[in-house]
Structure formats: C-alpha cells, structure tokens
C-alpha cells in the first residue's frame, strides 16, 4: 500500500460545529480534610505534586494556547514534509511524520508506543486542525477553570491515549469481524493510520457535559441543545458509524474511546470525591 497516499484517508474528524453558552459555571477544586501533618509533608515532598502545583499556578490561558500551539507546530511540520515530497521527491520528513506522529498497528507492534500520544497532537489537513482547535478553545476554557491546568493536561492526554488504544483494538478485532459479516472478507490495508486531537477533544467534551449539564451548545451555530444530550447524540452517531462501517475518513472508534475516558474521569474520579466531600464545588 502506498503509505504516502493513505494518510489523507485516515484523519480523525473534528467533533462538531458548535458554540457554547454556560449560564452558570461551577468550579471544582480538590479539597482534602483531616489530613495528618506527616501526610501533608509527604505530599509537599512528592515531585509529582510539586510539578502539579507549578502547573496549577500557571495562567490557564497559557496552558490552553500552549496545547493549541503544539498542534499548530506539528501541522506546520506536516506541511513542510508534504511539500518537500511533492516538489523535490524527498520523503525523509514525510516518513518521519508517519513513523512518529500517526498511530497504527505497525507503529504499536514496532514498539513506538509514544505514538499513542503524539498522534493526538497531529493534523495534516488545515480544516481538520482548524475545527479541532476551535472546539478545544471553546470547551477548554471551562474545563481548565473547573479542574485546573494539571488535571486538564491529564484529561487531554488520557483521552488521547484511550482514543488511540480504542482505534487499534477496533481495527484489529472488531472491524475485521464486521467486514466479514457484511462483505464476506476482511479488507486489509484500509484505515491503517490515524491521527488528530478529536479523541482528546471528545474526552474534554464529555467531561464538560457532565460537569456543566445546564450549559447549552449551539450545534452548527444555530440549534440550541443541552450539553449532555448533544454529546450523547454525537457519541451514539459515532458508534453507529463504526458498527455500520460507514465512518469513511472519520475515526469514529477514536471518538468513542475519547468520550468514554471523559465520562470515566467524571463518574469514577470526580463525582465520588464530590459525594465524599473531598472535592469542593
């Protein structure tokens, strides 16, 4: 298969065209009670806690723009790589980007596990980048203010990793079975590479919908819809596309994986601590 031509057919799509209205913003912050002095001292000496505190002392806008800038920087390298190949026949940069900024069974089997994360910062098409960054900027501000920069970065990275693992599992185990049932054979070589921030953004979106259920999304800038209903509908649509083999260039499995991580972070991490009184709302 021509690896240079396959990439355009595997880009993850942006989440959706939407704008967000948050009528009432609730702030979520960790708040621990009845800690002993020795436990507090241990937390102060924990290097991960120190890094977390430094991140949380940063301006949230700088954190958000750093992520957007990183995505933009990777896109510019993709642009240079494609131009270098098309104009001069030099495939070195293009091979480099394929190897290190897309996720595939080949990259995973070769031990390039970091591509599970680097692919979440990687776009090779301007519309794909623009839509994802628009949704990230719109959604990210509310999530950043709710949980702070350190947890925001963990949520973004965790959703991206979960999205990559989900798409690998889908391509290796689920899609072949669906293709055999539908076509009578497995169409090997299709959708080999995947990239894009959509999985991470779906994680942020699903978390946002849980944390701010009264927020209103303007789908396609026109149709008002409650946040949770909007995210649920798009997740259901992605499940339909993946199960019916009609996703086309959209990596619907990655969307589902990212959304599942965001839901899991809310229901398994934040919500239990809120009920236990260990988080302040």
Which band of pLDDT confidence, cut at 50, 70 and 90, is reported for residue 281?
very low
231 has pLDDT over 80: yes
Label residue 279 left, alpha or beta by phi (over 0 means left) and psi (-120 to 50 means alpha): beta
User: pLDDT tens digits, residue range 191-218?
Assistant: 578 999 999 999 999 999 998 888 877 7
- List helix spans (H) across 102-226: 105-109, 115-118, 126-169, 175-183, 198-211
Report the pLDDT value the prediction gives residue 108, as an integer from 0 to 100: 92
Report the pLDDT value the prediction gives residue 21, as an integer from 0 to 100: 46
- State the burial class of residue 206 (Cβ atoms within 10 Å of its Cβ: 0-12, 13-18, 19+): buried
């Amino acid at each position: 298969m021509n690896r240079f031509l396959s990439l355009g057919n595997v880009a993850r799509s942006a989440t959706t065209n939407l704008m967000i209205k948050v009528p009432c913003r609730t702030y979520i912050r960790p708040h621990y009670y009845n800690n002993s002095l020795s436990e507090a001292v241990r937390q102060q000496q924990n290097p991960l806690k120190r890094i977390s505190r430094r991140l949380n002392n940063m301006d949230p806008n700088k954190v958000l723009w750093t992520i957007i800038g990183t995505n933009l920087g990777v896109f510019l390298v993709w642009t240079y790589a494609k131009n270098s190949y098309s104009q001069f026949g030099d495939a070195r940069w293009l091979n480099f980007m394929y190897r290190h900024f897309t996720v595939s069974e080949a990259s995973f089997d070769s031990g390039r596990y970091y591509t599970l994360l680097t692919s979440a910062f990687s776009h090779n098409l301007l519309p794909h980048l623009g839509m994802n960054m628009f949704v990230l900027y719109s959604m990210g501000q509310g999530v950043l203010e709710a949980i702070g920069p350190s947890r925001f970065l963990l949520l973004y990275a965790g959703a991206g990793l979960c999205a990559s693992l989900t798409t690998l599992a889908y391509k290796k185990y689920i899609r072949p079975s669906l293709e055999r049932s539908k076509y009578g054979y497995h169409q090997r070589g299709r959708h080999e590479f995947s990239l894009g921030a959509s999985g991470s953004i779906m994680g942020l979106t699903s978390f946002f919908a849980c944390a701010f259920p009264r927020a209103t999304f303007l789908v396609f800038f026109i149709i008002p819809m409650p946040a949770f209903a909007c995210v649920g509908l798009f997740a259901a649509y992605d499940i339909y596309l993946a199960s019916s083999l009609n996703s086309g260039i959209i990596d619907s499995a990655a969307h589902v994986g990212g959304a599942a991580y965001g839901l899991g972070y809310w229901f398994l991490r934040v919500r239990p601590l809120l009920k236990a009184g260990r988080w302040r709302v």
